[in-house]
Chain A
Amino acid sequence: MAGYKETDEITGTETTGHEWDGIKELNTPLPRWWLWTFYATVVWAVGYWIAMPAWPLVSSYTKGVLGYSNRAVVAERLADARAAQSQYLERIQAASLEEINSDTDLLNFAIAGGRSAFAVNCSQCHGLGAAGGRGYANLNDDAWLWGGTLEDIAQTVRFGIRSNHEETRLGDMPGFLRDGILDRAQVADAAAYVLSLSGGAEDQAAVARGAEVFAENCTACHQEGGVGNTEVGAPNLSDEIWLYGGDKETVLTTIANGRAGVMPAWTGRLDDATIKQLAVYVHSLGGGQ
């Protein structure tokens, strides 16, 4: 076969010499552009092996003469992003919370940064929209257990509530029944009084008895009339907002067993600029004072 080339009479094209039941295969050449593109890809591939990381070795891989690395590119881009943010971060670091809040540029940056920090660190308890849940404060409303000014919020974020930080915010709502301070009847009366503060229709006799119980046991923290005290995290009992629920059952449970929700201290875990941004963000959610 070697050296012999057969040509198909009808098409004038060379055959491959293969024959099946009298049918011969034509040796139709590939289109030139296709062939040259193919050769170009071969050349490209060889060049790529030399220039770029390509072949796996036993415990490593060929690095390529360009020294390209995806990981390095990502690190570089992150560094670039940090550098781009640094002018803002430095200013936030240096500024007081009030200054941040009154500078449109810094405010927008802090709200954006605070939102993403919130999503990562806070949303697990407070929810992505900061609407909270049972036992977890809604940060959108205007009722604050520990105060709603920028400084108050920042301090809460920094040191937490009943956390293991030594500067933590501390308040103690005892279990009045559990600890034997009050008996069942007194607890029921106190609950009736508390519910009456926010307009609940209760048995007047129970409310009157409850007022006495409240005055003796609760006003130290919750103040006269149950308006609360942000110094010790005592909630305002006369408004429409309830952390654990405002139905009779829940109020009874709260008085009987006490409440002691915990929020971790974030100082040490988040840097100061992030905590400031979180404070400004939470303050901007609508209830900031």
Chain B
Amino acid sequence: MQHAVEADEARIAVPEGESAPTAAAGPGVERAAVEPVNKRERRGLYAKRKKIHPRRARGTFRKVKWIVMAVTLAIYYLAPWIRWDRGPNAPDQAILIDLPGRRFYFFFIEIWPQEVYYLTGLLIIAALGLFLVTSLFGRVWCGYTCPQTVWTDLFLVVERFFEGDRAARIRLDQAPWTARKLLRKTAKHAVWLVIAVLTGGAWVFYFADAPTLTADLVAFDAPLVSYVFIGLLTFTTYTLGGHAREQVCTYMCPWPRIQAAMVDANSMVVTYRDYRGEPRGHYRKGQSWEGRGDCIDCNQCVVVCPMGIDIRDGQQLECINCALCIDACNDVMTKIGRPRGLIAYDTLENVSRRAAGASARVALLRARPIIYGTIILVVGAVMLATLLTRATLDVNVLRDRNPLFVHLSDGSIRNGYTLKIINKEHDTRRFRLSVAGAAGATLDVVGVSDGGEPVLTVEPDRLASFRVYVTLPAKDLEGSSLPIDFVVEDTTSGARATYDGIFRGPER
């Protein structure tokens, strides 16, 4: 802890913290003596991380972020508790990844392991959705909805509750250890841990019936793997949200590196309008705004930044486009009576157009978003079509390879098959099995029938496997093989499934 305090001292030019600002940047606006932690020139790969103490911002975007945070957290914690009636033979949890049962339930959708291509489609849509949004509006995912952002924000709320806002926190970090400091720090970490445990606790509910698992968890009766995963997620949430914070985005996450390929000059990004702000400098009351920029160098954009950067340095890898600097700057602009929007969502193209005196232009319909959007629509349509026409009956036939065929004593030839019927409905179904394409063939299913058209029973939502023998008199087999179709027909609904098989005889 001692090291952290020293590092902070080194970073913050004012040893007493910020409560005694060195100067006013303008009327009613304090100047924060701060150097951005992650300024490019100051960033050393081997240097110890310097703690960032973001100040609380107030404004439109902060409000939006609160709402997004509430909604995303609510979805995460409450989604496993939504019930969805699927009848007596299936779980009634709306979202359930049933690993032992090898099923994925999502409201009206039920996916079997062999239908994992739906997951592929979902991932394609998710990735392209991210690309589309990024090409239009920059890193809004990072700034608003990414779990790392949401949980870090939540952890910051807790930190602020126990330790106060930025100045108080810096003072507390620098202060010697007292009972008061110990109490505050302990309380903070305790609440963080509770949040982390709840995060892990909510995670496991997606993999088992939530009410049952809750009871089991409380009674210490749940499977070990639940506790292991709660522990893992507690660890990651506490470490990533409480301690690693912006380092996750800067060093661990691949997305900041990829996003450079998605963003172009027409994407909305959080920008500093330097043509308006520069030259920056302190502003004394009554001074003329002629010949100087609107930026009074109060550094409020820097102190609210959770990533520790200075937006005025331009587009940076670290910037997650959370727009808190916009809120901070708008606040200051209002105080000094200048137009808001010195820092704003804007495209780089429009910044240069405005700088050149031209009017801004909105260019949403560019090749890039159109391509992304088209692919999303196509993949979405394909997925929707396959989901709507998803068969609840499937049949697979595997012909015996050893022996390929069997000579019987009357000279006829027999082939053995393993027939698998998949019943994706939640009721027991009975199927009539027949063979088409071989007139003289007789059918025999082990344990079910002696000739005729056997009726096979398949349990609800299950795959059933049968041994099937097809016998053909030698005279009915002309070549060495004959294509035959296995036809499975539901005795009640009449639903059919066919498998194109082969009947083999000796080489002739």
Contact = CB atoms under 8 A, between A and B. Distances in A.
B46 A140 contact: no
A286 B402 contact: no
A241 B409 contact: yes
A236 interface: yes
Contacts of A42: none
Interface stretch (B309-317, B410-418, B424-432): B410-418
Interface in B354-406: 400-403, 406
B86 interface: no
Contacts, number: 62
Q: What band does the interface of chain B fall in when counting residues whose beta carbon is under 8 Å from A?
A: 20 to 34
B408 interface: yes
B403 A284 contact: no
Given A141-B408, A239-B409, A131 B46 contact: no
A200 interface: no
A142 B408 contact: yes
B467 interface: yes
Interface stretch (A27-35, A67-75, A212-220): A27-35
Contact of B403 (A140, A143, A240): A140
Given A107-B447, A127-B402, A131-B402, A143 B409 contact: yes
Q: Helix, strand, loop or mixed for chain B's interface? A: loop
A241 B407 contact: yes
B410 A286 contact: no
Nearest to B457: A104
Given A129-B403, A286-B414, A141 B469 contact: no
B316 to A, nearest CB: 21
Contacts of B446: 107, 111, 284
Contacts of A285: 416
A140 to B, nearest CB: 4
Contacts of A138: 403, 406-407
**Candidate in B45, B401, B407, B416 with the most chain A CB atoms within 10 angstroms:** B407
B46 A29 contact: yes
Contact of A286 (B45, B48, B469): B469
Interface in A238-269: 239-241
Contacts of A143: 408-409
A266 to B, nearest CB: 22
Interface string B429-453: 0000000000000001011000000
**Candidate in A32, A104, A241, A286 with the most chain B CB atoms within 10 angstroms:** A286
A104 B402 contact: no
Contacts of B45: 31
B4 to A, nearest CB: 13
A240 B400 contact: no
A104 B447 contact: yes
**Candidate in B403, B408, B410 with the most chain A CB atoms within 10 angstroms:** B403
B402 A129 contact: yes
Interface in A119-151: 127-131, 138, 140-143
A156 interface: no
Nearest to A129: B402
A29 B48 CA distance: 11
Given A129-B400, A239-B409, A286 B416 contact: yes
A143 to B, nearest CB: 5
A140 B409 contact: no
Contacts of B401: 129
A128 B409 CA distance: 22
Question: Which 6 A/B pairs are nearest by Cβ-Cβ distance?
Answer: A129-B402, A239-B409, A131-B403, A140-B406, A143-B409, A240-B411
27 contacts: A28-B46, A30-B46, A31-B45, A31-B46, A32-B48, A102-B447, A104-B447, A107-B446, A107-B447, A128-B402, A129-B403, A131-B402, A138-B403, A138-B406, A140-B406, A141-B408, A142-B409, A143-B409, A239-B409, A240-B407, A240-B409, A241-B407, A241-B409, A284-B446, A286-B414, A286-B444, A286-B469
Interface of A: 28-32, 101-102, 104, 107, 111, 127-131, 138, 140-143, 236, 239-241, 284-287
Given A101-B447, A236-B409, A240-B408, 10 more contacts: A32-B48, A102-B447, A129-B403, A131-B402, A140-B403, A141-B414, A143-B408, A239-B410, A241-B409, A286-B416
